[in-house]
Homo-oligomer: A and B are copies of this chain.
């Protein structure tokens, strides 16, 4: 399994085999705009140091959603340093759902990790900048540096989230109460909703995965962030990147990954590949059913696991 020809054929096989699993999942109900997606879509892409391989629906655009959490965390660590970040957010997986508020009350008085909503909102509050636009520019700028193209957001999804995200608003005010949210609550939420609404496709995610696999160097060979920041974020992708399904994913696939409720999964095979999947139908933990199936299959075939 060593030539490009092999990869292309392999990805096609994997998509064909796993696409039917979409029936086992469901579109998310709590962001109205996401319900419009076609649940039968399925795509997979693999980026090596030189080539991009892809099969299925890899050019359909979708919003980053929770995948955006890795970029704001990268920026916050780079700009503010790990200590400032970990003063406001913990490093432990929780076993609770992604939008849970329980641990904020019962635990350490900070959100348990930066991959759940509460933690990601706290991280957003640490992104420097005088305005939301300037702060968002830092996150978008990093993505533009990786993808070598301008970034846009899906305005309809952005507005849909902004107007209906009562739970995230509750999380943000709770964070303010426990002194884990810097600045203005509504501005921080605005930044959070914007990053969630950034448009990408599956091929983009594979390129981003390769950026992580090379510890922060983009396709043109330019280092955009420190290797240390990439390693920190990659660690979180292993322990909590797949919500409260991260433990099982570590066993079945064994790579740093981050999923979003719009159906994308960003995967990193350190030193080797970026790998990404798309499939909007989700399991009850919020991960793409088809995506996990494809990554599990590919991990068995290409021996992905870092463990």
Q: Which residues of A contact B (CB under 8 A)?
A: 90-96, 100-107, 112-113, 166-167, 169-174, 176-177, 231-232, 234-236, 238-240, 244-248, 250-251, 254, 256, 270, 305-307
CA A105 to CA B176, docked complex, whole Å: 19
What chain B residues lie within 8 Å of A174 (beta carbons)?
101, 166-167, 170
Contacts of A107 in B (CB 8 A): 95
- How often does this chain occur in the complex, in copies? 4
Rounded to whole angstroms, the CA-CA distance of A248 and B114 in the bound complex is 12
**Is the CB–CB distance between A307 and B95 below 8 Å?**
no
A94 and B95 within 8 A (CB): yes
How far is B271's CA from A305's CA once the two chains are assembled, in angstroms?
14
Residues in B neighbouring A170, C-beta threshold 8 A: 101, 170-174, 176-177
Q: Considering the complex, give the chain B residue whose CB is closest to the CB of A103.
A: B95
Q: What residues of B have a CB within 8 angstroms of the CB of A104 in the complex?
A: 101
CB–CB A307/B270 < 8 A: yes
Q: How far is the CA of A103 from the CA of B101 in the complex (A)?
A: 10
**Min C-beta distance of A148 to chain B, whole Å:** 26
Bound Cα distance A45, B260 (Å): 42
Please, how many angstroms separate the alpha-carbon atoms of A236 and B251 in the complex?
Answer: 8
